[in-house]
Amino acid sequence: MLKPILLVEDNPNDLELTLIALSKSQLANQVIVVRDGAEALDYLHRRGEYSQRSPGNPAVVLLDLKLPKVDGLEVLKEIRTTDGLKPLPVVMLTSSKEEQDLVRSYELGVNAYVVKPVDFTEFVRAIADLGIFWAVLNEPPPGSQKYVRPTK
Amino acid sequence: MEILQFTSPRAHLHMNPASSVPELDLSSCDREQIRTPGSIQPHGFLLTLSGDMEVLQASANLGDWAGVSAQAAIGRPLAEVIGEGTARRLAPELGAKLGPRPYYVGTVTTANHRHFDVLGHRWDELTILEFEPTERGAAADFRQLYSLLGDFLQKVNGAESIESLAQLACHHVRAVTGFGRVLVYQFDRDGHGHVVAEAKQDDYASYLGQHFPASDIPAQARQLYALSPIRLIQDANYTPAPLVPALNPVTGKPNDLSFAVLRSVSPVHLQYMRNMNTLASMSVSLMVKGKLWGIISCHNEGPSPVPFEQRTACEQLGQLLALCIESREDAHELQFRLEVRRIMVSMLAGLTQGSNFIDNLSSVFPELLRFARASGVAVVVDERVLSFGDTPEEDDILGLVDWLALQHHGDIYHTDHLSAAWPGGEKMTRNASGLLAMPISRIHKHYLLWFRPEFVHTIEWAGNPHDKLVQASAAGLPMQLSPRTSFAAWRETIHGTSVPWHGGEIELALEFRTALLGIALERAEQMAELAEELTRSNKELEAFSYSVSHDLRAPLRHIVGFADLLIESSGNDDGERRMRFLKNIKDAARMAGKLVDDLLSFSQMGRASLRPADVDMGDLVAACIDKLSLETKGRRIEWDIAPLPVVHVDPTFLHLAMYNLLSNAVKFTGKQDPAIIRVSAEDRPDETVIHVADNGAGFNMDYVHKLFGVFQRLHRMEDFQGTGIGLANVRRIVERHNGRVWAESVQGEGATFSFALPKHESN
């Protein structure tokens, strides 16, 4: 069983676009969607709504920077300061390359920082590359499907 | 010309090693011991007594007057020197009554049948008795004195000026003493004298209006004048009568004769008198506010005795004149200061008007000129010079300020002879001989400068005061100190000086400076507030640009993304999917528009100024609800509006804030049926509080600190639409009214948003 990808995204349009991009990348991983930072932490900590979920961390967290209640940086910070969550790969997804966000994210130990490209094709490629690297290459779980990039 | 009280004509020679030309230092007269001449004038005699009336010293001329030689008198009881009966008569007066100043003890007749007025004082640990011969055998008659003073007092009221008062006094003193010339002589701050009034016999030369250098009356003499009210030299050709023995037996030192009326004066001074063709002179001190203001100076070509009662009359006249001068000067001073203060107050009123301190100063330039009776004024702030009136060139002013900054003059610097203090002042003597400089910052080189033009004037000296040295050195070695011999008027033209600054002007300038610094300080506080405000706006601006880059990019990306997908899916038949993409594109476009609108309104709010008015909150809420009718159409909303107060606020801004809160309440009660929205007011001592409560979704109190931030959302976009700007606007508006906002909620049960407006803002 592949570890799932945790997608933290509040904006419905971004959510739809990201899901489409992920599906286009043909990753076999399940995608868990949460809609704000608080919910993401609930999922990771297996509490609240997610107290009953089976244990285990996702393969990667795709984290939007701007989120209601608890923003992406706060989620990242908590991940990096919580035992058991520390090694979790986190990819920050954001609309812009504001330097302050970039600096802060790397300070907090983000694994990758992706500025969502305006062009959808590029967006799909970026999401696919991310998924391949973090969900598959980085930590190939035993018995998992080998990913073969589709030829165009 | 004055009664110089030099002691001995010891020449003070200072060898100049370079040229070996001796320099005569007349200022050394200042150091002469004029109080201990060791002798008296011989027109009377002097005895010093022990406590038990034993004669300790006698003047050498005792024999001439009393028929007992000085040597014979020493060690004898007073009674044996002046007669038993006379001594007995004096005895009761010589006890505790005697003080440090001569006191009329009585008129006595000695054993040799001569009459004397006797003055006694205790000084230098001795009883000093001075005997002046008189024609009458009875006590002095002071009736003449009363009528004289009465007459003077009567006329004083009619005198307009200090000069006419002094003139009056001259006439009276001349009438009493019969001296050929009586004048009133006023000292300036440097000790130079100026003749302000004169009464004289026709054939006497006039000194009216003339100036005499300070060295004519050395500082030591001026000090003594301040202590003792009157001095007389009856005959400049006298031969001094030394005291026998020469030293005070009690102290073992030369007798201090400071207050002895017969005190002998310096031969130099006697020479000075003879040079002036004056054999008798008398001077009366004019003490104004505890300082030697001037003297009444009397001259006579021939010797002239002035009996004790006449001297008393002159002394009294002098005191009266001094009192009158004091009150006139006080009145002038008061009037002057009142006027300067009036100008200062009107300036200060002008200075607090605008926000730019320097511009404010320049707006009161004409008053600044009048304030200091200046002809030019300049404000220097760093390298910027603002000037008004007749001032030096800008570069010269900057040079002057550089010099001033190095001098550490303290709160204020003033001079009426700038070029003497600073060589750079030479090229600006025409319009800046006088300078009053006021630093207006403790840290920076900021100055307020007043300039006075050169006042070229002529001083008429009684004799060339600069001649003294020439005459003395011309006499060759060994040099005898010789007072000047010429009193012919000698004109001197004074360049490079201005009219001096008045003490009142300097004091009020200091006061003005304090007030200015106060204003500047207040200004600084305002600046600090402004800076704080700016910091806050800056933060908001940062948030603004941050949001532009994040939030405005998102809808654009969505539009492009869904458009790409739409094109991609054009081949297949999934119409529903295409419709959704189209709807997403439309939503994203609408969102982008709304974001732009909100961002603009938010940024405008920071800039627009408040125009507060009395606003009826009830009307305002009603207007908002009316405006919301489109959004509330088809919904059941119970509006519960309590009576609301009138507040003093900017109506447009507050309308926007109220609208945002009500619109929020409408939005977050979208799932309630019925929705209940309550608006109420609370009257607190210092503030008016407005609450907007709803039964809507509410929010998690954990995130309440983010609630009023720009572009902060606590809900999913699809649950509740919005850009995240509404509450940021509310906070901004309320804070600009110096109020505060807060919110409370129980998630799922509703929320209450409140704001408080301070009452002191209203009027």
Asked whether residue B482 carries a pLDDT value surpassing 50, the answer given is no
pLDDT at B415: 93
**CA distance readout (Å), A145 to A30, A61, A135, B177, B730:** 13, 20, 11, 138, 54
Across chain A, mean pLDDT equals 82
pLDDT for residue A109: 87
Residues B642, B648, B649, CA angle at the centre, nearest 5°?
95
Average pLDDT over residues A55-66: 89
Q: Which two tokens stand for residue B473?
A: 């050195």
CB contacts of A19 in chain B (<8 Å) are none
Domains annotated for chain A, with CATH where assigned, are 5-137 (3.40.50.2300)
Q: Identify the band that residue B32 occupies on the pLDDT scale cut at 50, 70 and 90.
A: low
Please state the rounded mean pLDDT for residues B309-334: 87
Pick from A121-125, A136-140, B53-57: least confident: A136-140
Across the interface, of B558, B700, B703, the residue whose CB is closest to A13 is B558
Which among B549, B560, B703 is the nearest to A69, CB-wise?
Answer: B703
- Predicted confidence at residue B496, as pLDDT, reads 87
Instruction: Give me the percent of chain A exceeding a pLDDT of 90.
Output: 20
Higher-pLDDT residue of B411 and B14 is B411
The whole-angstrom distance between B652's CA and the closest CA on chain A is: 30
- Find the closest chain A residue to B588 by CA distance: A13
B423 compared with B571, residue with greater pLDDT: B423
**Which are the contacts of B450, defined by CB distance < 8 A and separation ≥ 6?**
B368, B369, B372, B374, B376, B377, B434, B435, B436, B437
Domains of chain B: 36-138+237-264 (3.30.450.20), 353-454 (3.30.450.270), 611-763 (3.30.565.10)
The residue among B205, B382, B377 whose CA lies nearest residue B277 is B205
- For residue B178, what are its two tokens? 């019969």
Residue B9, pLDDT above cutoff 70 = no
For residue B189, with 0-12 CB atoms within 10 Å meaning exposed, 13-18 middle and 19 or more buried, which class applies? Answer: exposed
Greater pLDDT, B467 or B680: B680
Most confident range (mean pLDDT) of B40-49, B90-99, B367-376 is B40-49
Instruction: Look at residue B392 and tell me whether its pLDDT is greater than 90.
Output: yes
pLDDT at residue B12 in the model: 33
Q: How confident is the model at residue B479 (pLDDT cuts 50, 70, 90)?
A: very low
pLDDT band at B641 (very low <50, low <70, confident <90, very high): very high
CA distance B717 to chain A (A): 6
Cross-chain residue pair B706–A94, CB shorter than 8 Å: no
Q: Is the pLDDT of residue A83 over 70?
A: yes
Cα–Cα–Cα angle for B225, B230, B235, nearest 5°? Answer: 110
- pLDDT of B692 strictly over 80: yes
More confident residue, B181 or B220: B181
- Three-class SS state of B639: strand
ipTM over 0.85: no
From chain B, the residues in CB contact with A20 under 8 A are 565
* pLDDT tens digits, B521-565: 777 677 777 777 777 666 766 766 776 667 777 888 888 888 888
What is the tens place of the pLDDT at every residue in B113-158? 899 999 999 998 999 999 999 988 777 777 777 788 888 888 877 7
CA distances from B202 to A59, B152, B173, B465, B590 (A): 127, 23, 16, 26, 111
Is the pLDDT reported for residue B695 higher than 60? yes
- Check if B444 contacts A (Cβ < 8 Å): no
Q: B560: distance to nearest CA of chain A, Å? A: 6
Residue B666: CB atoms within 10 A of its CB come to: 19
Name every residue whose Cβ is closer than 8 Å to that of residue B361 and which is 6 or more positions away in sequence.
Answer: B351, B368, B379, B386, B448
pLDDT at B255 over 90: yes
CA of A95 vs chain B CAs: smallest distance (Å): 5
Question: How distant is the Cα of B628 from the closest Cα of chain A, in angstroms?
Answer: 26
Q: Cβ of A68 and B714 within 8 Å?
A: yes
Per-residue pLDDT tens over the stretch B71-81: 999 999 999 88
Q: How far is A82 from chain B (nearest CA, A)?
A: 20
- In B289-433 the beta strands, taken as DSSP E runs, fall at 291-300, 376-381, 384-389, 413-415
| Model pLDDT, residue B486 | 62
pLDDT of residue B284: 94
Decide if A118 and B715 are in contact by the 8 Å CB cutoff. Answer: no
Q: What is the share, in percent, of chain B residues with pLDDT greater than 90?
A: 33
Average pLDDT, chain B: 82
Lowest mean pLDDT across B12-21, B94-103, B173-182, B481-490:
B12-21
Q: Which residues of B touch A10 (CB under 8 A)?
A: 713, 716-717
CB contact under 8 A, A16 and B700: no
* CA atoms of B663 and B666, how far apart (whole Å): 5
Q: Which of A58-62, B155-159, B255-259 has the lowest mean pLDDT?
A: B155-159
- Cis omega before residue B213 (within 30°)? no
Residue B617 has what pLDDT? 93
Q: Among A68, A94, A119, whose Cβ lies nearest the Cβ of B713?
A: A68
pLDDT of residue B435: 94
Q: Which of B549, B554, B703 sits opposite A14 (nearest CB)?
A: B554
Q: Could you tell me which chain B residue has the CA closest to the CA of A97?
A: B549
Q: pLDDT by residue (tens digit) across B580-630? A: 888 888 888 888 887 777 777 776 666 667 788 899 999 999 999 998 888
- For testing the chain A interface, which of B560, B574, B712, B727 should be mutated: the one with the most A CBs within 10 Å? B560
Q: How confident is the model at residue A141 (pLDDT cuts 50, 70, 90)?
A: very low
Cα distance between residue B598 and residue B601, in whole Å: 5
Tell whether the model's pLDDT for residue B741 goes beyond 70: yes
CA B748 – CA B697 distance, rounded (Å): 5
Residues of chain B found within 8 Å of residue A14, distances taken between Cβ atoms: 554, 557-558
Structure confidence at residue A101 (pLDDT): 82
